[in-house]
Amino acid sequence: MRTQVGIVGAGPAGLVLGRLLERAGIESVVLERRSRSYVESRVRAGVLEHGTADLLEEIGTGARMRREGLVHRGIELRFGRAGHRIDLAGLTQKTITVYGQQEVVKDLIAARLGSGLPLEFETEVTAITALTGDHPVIHHGGTQLTCDFVAGCDGGHGVSYGSVPAGAFTRFERAYPFAWLGILARAPAASDELIYARHERGFALHSMRTPEIIRMYLQVAPDADLADWPDARIWDELNTRLATDTGFDLSPGPVLERGVTPMRSLVTEPMRYGRLFLAGDAAHIVPPTGAKGLNLAVADVRVLAEALIAHYRDGDDRLLDEYSARCLRRVWRAQRFSSWMTTMLHRRPDDDEFAHRLQLAELAYVTGSTAAATTLAENYVGWAVDSAGPYS
């Protein structure tokens, strides 16, 4: 088999890249080791930056998002039993859209299959070879796919990263001393916007996927056992951490899914080796507090698509050579913001009263200063892609 661009991984990064290349007339094959049903059902991120939502619409996969997604014009920071709204739209003239990652993936899969383009599920890639030559080879299921370029969109433990010689990449990593216990529940949202709560017992987040399906998180220990967290305890703890002096009450409902997510940061440098380009979680992971993971993945492949189009259309490889540096500028900015949000809202096990008071002072400043609130808002709604020109 032969194609121009081999894409390993059918998450948002791989599927958006495939769509961008399709619109530019560039051939690609997408290989995914999981089943279609698994990929379309795994619950991940749910906040789309302003630019991400616009891009999905531009590439023809945003119609359902615009119908069903929830447009939010602000978020709330809650501390000291009081809520403080950050007016995203008023401060930046931009909004966010709450629309689950699995829904984004469903739309992208439907578009690719509707175009009759190769998308192979339950296909295990075992190795990627000849990465420093002109035609790297993706090995899967006893078959070889020869490409001009490979896009590694298969996560931090995927075969793409593992196919590179030791020492070719440097990884910068930080593990946080806490995790998130997340639930998806059939219950009415208690707020029209996301609530980020700092509480003496730990962080909590009130989010939603639809008006009837909510996504809630609690800060827990990294080794938390779900068996120790029955439904009643989860709802009680959420109500405690989200409580206000003016009254706030969640309406419990059936828990549809639950899990514990470790909190860590990771950056791989560079994001290229030969003709392999890493994108999304294969290159970087951010703590979810800043809502950047999916959005960074989409930004990566937007930059990569622009570079590949310049190669095929103009014979110009300058953007391919600049890919890593351009992406990493955004990645480190997202890491800074995500780390700041995480530090400001979570209690570390070794924090003393001085550290707690500093957190409260920081939150009071962010919510009391227009300049500080604007900084948070600008980062939260997202930044313009570092673009060297039109991508199609």
User: For the segment 59-81, what is each residue's pLDDT rounded down to a tens digit?
Assistant: 999 999 999 999 999 999 999 99
* Predicted local confidence at residue 156, as pLDDT: 84
**Does the annotation mark 99 as catalytic?**
no
Q: SS3 sequence, the chain?
A: CECCEEEECCCHHHHHHHHHHHHCCCCEEEECCCCHHHHHHCCCCCEECHHHHHHHHHCCCCHHHHHHCEEECCEEEEECCEEEEECHHHHHCCCEEECCHHHHHHHHHHHHHHCCCCEECCCCEEEEECCCCCCCEEEECCEEEECCEEEECCCCCCHHHHCCCCCCCEEEEEEEEEEEEEEEEECCCCCCCCEEECCCCCCEEEEECCCCEEEEEEEECCCCCHHHCCHHHHHHHHHHHHCCCCCCCCCCCCEEEEEEEEEEEEEEECCEECCEEECHHHCEECCHHHCCHHHHHHHHHHHHHHHHHHHHHHCCCHHHHHHHHHHHHHHHHHHHHHHHHHHHHCCCCCCCHHHHHHHHHHHHHHHHCHHHHHHHHHHHHCCCCCCCCCCC
Instruction: Provide the CB-side half-sphere exposure for 147 (13 A, CA).
Output: 30
Instruction: Provide the CB-side half-sphere exposure for 178 (13 A, CA).
Output: 23
Q: Which of 157-161, 314-318, 335-339 bottoms out in mean pLDDT, i.e. has the lowest?
A: 157-161
The residue from 72, 199, 206, 346 that is catalytic is 72
* CATH at residue 161: 3.50.50.60
- Strand pairing class (28-31; 119-120): parallel
- What average pLDDT does the chain have? 95
pLDDT(388) > 50: no
Q: Which of 41, 31, 39, 33 is closest to 122 using CA atoms?
A: 33
pLDDT(100) > 50: yes
User: For the segment 258-309, what is each residue's pLDDT rounded down to a tens digit?
Assistant: 999 999 999 999 999 999 999 999 999 999 999 999 999 999 999 999 999 9
**Does the annotation mark 161 as catalytic?**
no
- Residue 44 domain-assigned (yes or no): yes
* Whole-prediction pTM: 0.95
- Residue 392 domain-assigned (yes or no): no
Average pLDDT over residues 180-195: 95
Q: How far is Cα 158 from Cα 143, in angstroms, rounded to an integer?
A: 18
Q: Phi/psi at 115 (nearest 5 deg)? A: -85, -5
- Residue 185 domain-assigned (yes or no): no
**Does the annotation mark 349 as catalytic?**
no
Average pLDDT over residues 177-200: 96
The residue from 99, 196, 217, 273 that is catalytic is 196
What total of structural domains would you count in the chain?
A: 1
**Does the annotation mark 38 as catalytic?**
no
Q: How far is CA 131 from the centre of its chain?
A: 27
Q: Which residues span the domain enclosing 146?
A: 5-71+95-173+264-350
pLDDT(391) > 50: no
What is the token pair recorded at 91?
A: 């401060």
- Residue 230 domain-assigned (yes or no): no
Contact predicate 151/238, CB 8 Å: no
In DSSP terms, 255 is beta-bridged to 185
The residue from 12, 136, 287, 288 that is catalytic is 288
The residue from 206, 292, 311, 346 that is catalytic is 292
Q: How far is Cα 86 from Cα 94, in angstroms, rounded to an integer?
A: 12
Determine what percent of the chain is predicted with pLDDT higher than 90.
93
Cα-trace Rg, the chain:
21
- Residue 312 domain-assigned (yes or no): yes
**Which of the four pLDDT bands, split at 50, 70 and 90, describes residue 389?**
very low
Average pLDDT over residues 246-264: 93
User: For the segment 348-378, what is each residue's pLDDT rounded down to a tens digit?
Assistant: 999 999 999 999 999 999 999 999 999 999 9
- Residue 390 domain-assigned (yes or no): no
Amino acid letter, 339? S
* Predicted local confidence at residue 44, as pLDDT: 77
User: For the segment 220-237, what is each residue's pLDDT rounded down to a tens digit?
Assistant: 999 999 999 999 999 999
Average pLDDT over residues 42-68: 94
- Residue 359 domain-assigned (yes or no): no
* Predicted local confidence at residue 333, as pLDDT: 97
* Predicted local confidence at residue 386, as pLDDT: 63
Contacts (Cβ under 8 Å, ≥6 apart) of 172? 265, 266, 267, 269
Contacts (Cβ under 8 Å, ≥6 apart) of 179? 219, 220, 221, 222, 224, 260, 261, 262, 263
Q: Which of 154, 152, 148 is closest to 168 using CA atoms?
A: 152
Instruction: Provide the CB-side half-sphere exposure for 369 (13 A, CA).
Output: 10
- Residue 339 domain-assigned (yes or no): yes
